[in-house]
Structure 1
Amino acid sequence: MKIALALFQLDRRGGKERDCLAVARSLAERGHDVTIVTTSRPASETRPYRIATVPRRGLTNHALARNFARKAMNYCSEVGSDACLAFERIPGAEFYYAADNPAASKVRGVRSLLPRGRMRLALERGVFERSPCPFFFFLTEQQRCQFGALYRFDASRSVVLPLILHDDRYDMVAAGSDPARIRQQLKLPATGPVAISIAVSSAFDNKGVDRSLTALTHLPDLYLVVVGSNDRRLKRRVKSLGLERRVRIVPHASNIIELIAAADVLVHPARSEAAGQVIGEALLAATPAIISSVCGYAPCVERSGAGVVLEEPFRQDAFEQAISGTLARLPVARAAATRESQRLQHERGKWLAVIGDEIERRIGSGSR
Structure 2
Amino acid sequence: MRVTLAVFQLAKLGGKERDCLAVARALAARGHAVTVLTTAAPARPEPQLQVVVLPTTGNANHARTTSFAAAVRAHHAAARGDALLAFDRVPGADFFFAADPSYTLRYSGLLSRLMPRRRAMLALERGIYDVTAKSQIFFLTMRQRDEYVAAYRLDPARAAVLPLILHEERYAAVAARDDKAQIRARLGLAPDALVALCIGIPAKRKGFDRALAALAAHPRLQLILAGSSDGWITPRIRQLGLQDRVRVLPYGADVVDLLSAADVFLHPAREEAAGVVLGEALLAGTPVIVSGVCGYAPEVARAGAGIVLAEPFQAEDLARAIGEVIDRLPEFRQAAAAESARLQQVRGHWLATIADKVETLAPRAR
Q: Is the 8 A contact 1:82 1:363 kept in 2?
A: yes
Q: Are residue 319 (structure 1) and residue 307 (structure 2) matched?
A: no
Find the aligned partners of 2:272 and 2:143 in 1 and give their Cα distance: 11
CA offsets, 1:52-94, max 9 Å, x none?
A: 1112433222222222211221221222211111111111111
Shift of 1:177: 2.7
Q: Which runs of 5 or more structure 1 residues have no equivalent in the other structure?
A: none
User: Which residue in 2 is equivalent to 1:340?
Assistant: 339
Q: Which runs of 5 or more structure 2 residues have no equivalent in the other structure?
A: none
* Secondary structure class of the residue paired with 2:84: strand
> Which deviates further from its counterpart, 47-56 or 91-100?
47-56
Find the aligned partners of 1:47 and 1:231 in 2 and give their Cα distance: 36
User: Which residue in 2 is equivalent to 1:265?
Assistant: 264
Q: 1:12 to 1:28 in 2, by over 3 A?
A: same
* Secondary structure class of the residue paired with 1:278: helix
User: Which residue in 2 is equivalent to 1:349?
Assistant: 348
Find the aligned partners of 1:237 and 1:107 in 2 and give their Cα distance: 32
* Secondary structure class of the residue paired with 1:4: strand
Q: 1:239 to 1:133 in 2, by over 3 A?
A: farther
* Aligned residues: CA RMSD: 1.7
User: Which residue in 2 is equivalent to 1:213?
Assistant: 212
User: Which residue in 2 is equivalent to 1:142?
Assistant: 143
TM-score by length of 2: 0.95
CA offsets, 1:289-316, max 9 Å, x none?
A: 0001111111111111100001111111
Q: 1:364 to 1:121 in 2, by over 3 A?
A: closer
Find the aligned partners of 2:110 and 2:178 in 1 and give their Cα distance: 50
* Secondary structure class of the residue paired with 1:296: coil
The 5 A counterparts of 1:301-312 are 301-312=300-311
Q: Is the 8 A contact 1:76 1:84 kept in 2?
A: yes
Q: Is the 8 A contact 2:94 2:136 kept in 1?
A: yes
Shift of 1:192: 2.1
Q: 1:67 to 1:313 in 2, by over 3 A?
A: same
Q: 1:120 to 1:335 in 2, by over 3 A?
A: same
Identity %: 48
Shift of 1:47: 2.7
Find the aligned partners of 1:324 and 1:111 in 2 and give their Cα distance: 45
Find the aligned partners of 1:24 and 1:241 in 2 and give their Cα distance: 46
Q: Which amino acid aligns with 1:225?
A: I
* Secondary structure class of the residue paired with 1:321: helix
Q: Are residue 249 (structure 1) and residue 248 (structure 2) matched?
A: yes
Q: 1:292 to 1:354 in 2, by over 3 A?
A: same
Q: 1:332 to 1:40 in 2, by over 3 A?
A: same
TM-score by length of 1: 0.94
Q: Which amino acid aligns with 2:59?
A: L
User: Which residue in 1 is equivalent to 2:34?
Assistant: 34
Q: 1:168 to 1:65 in 2, by over 3 A?
A: same
Find the aligned partners of 2:120 and 2:321 in 1 and give their Cα distance: 40
Q: 1:3 to 1:46 in 2, by over 3 A?
A: closer
Find the aligned partners of 2:228 and 2:67 in 1 and give their Cα distance: 29
CA offsets, 1:252-298, max 9 Å, x none?
A: 22121111010011111111111111111111111000001111111
